[in-house]
């Protein structure tokens, strides 16, 4: 969590994995080189195999190239039946049916698509926004960066200006809402931009934004975001976005500060290396150094974190579904399969536990792969 704990290790390790290294980083010697996949353990292969299997099933089910039947088709004779169910098993249907009589295999296959789409999408969002901000914060933490700090300070200042002067202007001075907001926004932009320019400390600004975001427990924040974004059907306020996108945004926003802090820590240590200084001395621009020199070194660490994050996002999707704000039916996801038939837990346990089992194995596989990648690149766990 603290910057000192994340230290980049020998360049040889990076070279071992066959990564493209930026100029200036010594490659490992010939003897140290290993093949990229040659020494993976059986467990790692099993985990990779499972992930390939799940992703393949999800894609096939979504694209109808190969389907396991219609996930919406109702087979009344099979309702609530399945392995270990009170009503007995369903002949010809390996995993049984849900309480409406829809085939579980078909629903789990398409559910894989929804769950994976949400979690990959959310983490992609978290990594692009949070990783990007963290990279900038870490890179500039020991360098003055007036223009960027001015922009960041201006944005934050404008937001606070609108709220602060909005209240003062509208309540205290009796101005109209719009006028107060505009004055506050412009004033805040100017003040924030000026202070940002003076201090030149973009790192502090971004880190503080992360800290404020982290001050609300993650699942509560995601819950509130989804609840408000989904609107209320009863009241006729249709959601503006499709459910999947809402979940991607909600989980993604929650991931931003978590990913951002790790990326900042990693970028910070790499930015203090001599090859960055060398690039700077050769006249390279900050943007170019960040993308070409720092990013490739931060990436392996972030890849490990991304695997662990996707696992967390899959669990988050399930959690939100159980809380009643997941992807709404009829589209199945692993989470809403559990949520829909949670009431049937004692009579038809197979419905809930089949989906739970898939979540468990997928999370296990991703955690394991995350550990394997981390061990390869020697990324410390401290940031998570």
Residues that bind another protein (CB under 8 A): 163, 166-167, 169-171, 176-177, 180-181, 211-212, 215-220, 223-224, 227-228, 231-232, 234-237, 311, 315, 318-319, 322-325, 338, 342, 345-346, 349, 352-353, 356, 359-360, 363-364, 367-368
Nearer to another protein, 218 or 244 (CB): 218
Q: DSSP 3-state assignment of 103? A: strand
Q: DSSP 3-state assignment of 28? A: coil
DSSP for residue 19: P
CA angle in degrees (0–180, nearest 5) for 307-364-60: 75
Measured from the CB of residue 170, what is the shortest distance to another protein in angstroms? 4
Measured from the CB of residue 153, what is the shortest distance to another protein in angstroms? 15
Measured from the CB of residue 337, what is the shortest distance to another protein in angstroms? 12
Measured from the CB of residue 122, what is the shortest distance to another protein in angstroms? 16
Nearer to another protein, 129 or 364 (CB): 364
Nearer to another protein, 71 or 166 (CB): 166
Measured from the CB of residue 106, what is the shortest distance to another protein in angstroms? 22
Nearer to another protein, 22 or 185 (CB): 185
* Cα torsion angle, 340, 344, 346, 351, sign: negative
Nearer to another protein, 2 or 64 (CB): 2
Nearer to another protein, 22 or 157 (CB): 157
Nearer to another protein, 16 or 371 (CB): 371
* Cα torsion angle, 275, 276, 281, 287, sign: positive
Measured from the CB of residue 306, what is the shortest distance to another protein in angstroms? 17
Contact 48, 64 (CB under 8 A): no
Closest to 308 (Cα-Cα) out of 233, 366, 255, 231: 366
- Burial class of residue 233 in the structure, from the number of CB atoms within 10 Å of its CB (0-12 exposed, 13-18 middle, 19+ buried): exposed
**Token pair belonging to 134:** 């963290």
Residues 6+ apart with CB under 8 A from 319: 219, 335
Give the Å distances, CA to CA, from 40 to 268, 270, 358, 363, 369.
30, 27, 24, 19, 10
Nearer to another protein, 246 or 295 (CB): 246
Residues 6+ apart with CB under 8 A from 199: 149, 153
User: How many CA atoms within 13 Å lie on the side-chain side of 155?
Assistant: 9
- Burial class of residue 31 in the structure, from the number of CB atoms within 10 Å of its CB (0-12 exposed, 13-18 middle, 19+ buried): exposed
Measured from the CB of residue 259, what is the shortest distance to another protein in angstroms? 17
Measured from the CB of residue 322, what is the shortest distance to another protein in angstroms? 5
Measured from the CB of residue 297, what is the shortest distance to another protein in angstroms? 26
Q: DSSP 3-state assignment of 97? A: strand
Nearer to another protein, 73 or 163 (CB): 163
Contact 316, 55 (CB under 8 A): no
């Amino acid at each position: 969590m603290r910057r000192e704990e994340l230290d980049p290790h020998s360049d040889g390790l990076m070279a071992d994995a066959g990564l493209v290294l930026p100029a200036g980083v010594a490659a490992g010697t010939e003897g140290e080189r290993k093949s990229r996949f040659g020494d993976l353990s059986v467990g790692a292969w099993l985990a990779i195999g499972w992930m390939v299997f799940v992703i393949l099933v999800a894609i096939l089910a979504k694209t109808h190239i190969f389907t396991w039947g219609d996930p919406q088709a109702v087979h009344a004779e099979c309702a609530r039946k399945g392995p270990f169910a009170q009503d007995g098993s369903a002949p010809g249907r390996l995993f049984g049916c849900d309480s409406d009589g829809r085939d579980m295999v078909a629903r789990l296959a398409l559910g894989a698509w929804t769950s994976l789409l949400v979690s990959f999408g959310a983490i992609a969002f978290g990594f692009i926004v949070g990783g990007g901000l963290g990279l900038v914060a870490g890179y500039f933490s020991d360098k003055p960066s007036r223009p960027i700090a001015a922009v960041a300070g201006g944005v934050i200042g404008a937001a606070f200006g609108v709220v602060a002067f909005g209240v003062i202007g509208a309540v205290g001075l009796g101005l109209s809402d719009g006028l107060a907001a505009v004055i506050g926004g412009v004033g805040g932009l100017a003040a924030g931009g000026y202070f940002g320019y003076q201090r030149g400390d973009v790192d502090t600004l971004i880190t503080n934004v992360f800290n404020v975001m982290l001050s609300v427990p993650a699942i509560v924040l995601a819950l509130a975001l989804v609840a408000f974004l989904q609107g209320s059907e009863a009241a006729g306020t249709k959601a503006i976005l499709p459910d999947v996108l809402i979940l991607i945004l909600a989980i993604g926003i929650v991931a931003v500060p978590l990913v951002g802090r790790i990326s900042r820590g990693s970028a910070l240590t790499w930015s203090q290396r001599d090859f960055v200084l060398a690039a700077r001395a050769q006249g390279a621009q900050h943007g170019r150094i960040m993308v070409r020199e720092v990013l490739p070194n931060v990436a392996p660490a972030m890849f490990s974190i991304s695997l662990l994050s996707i696992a967390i996002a899959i669990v988050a999707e399930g959690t939100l579904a159980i809380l009643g704000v997941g992807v709404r039916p009829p589209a199945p996801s692993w989470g809403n399969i559990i949520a829909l038939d949670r009431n049937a837990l004692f009579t038809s346990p197979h419905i809930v536990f089949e989906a739970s089992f898939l979540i468990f194995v997928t999370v296990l596989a991703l955690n394991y792969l995350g550990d394997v990648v981390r061990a390869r690149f020697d990324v410390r766990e401290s940031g998570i």
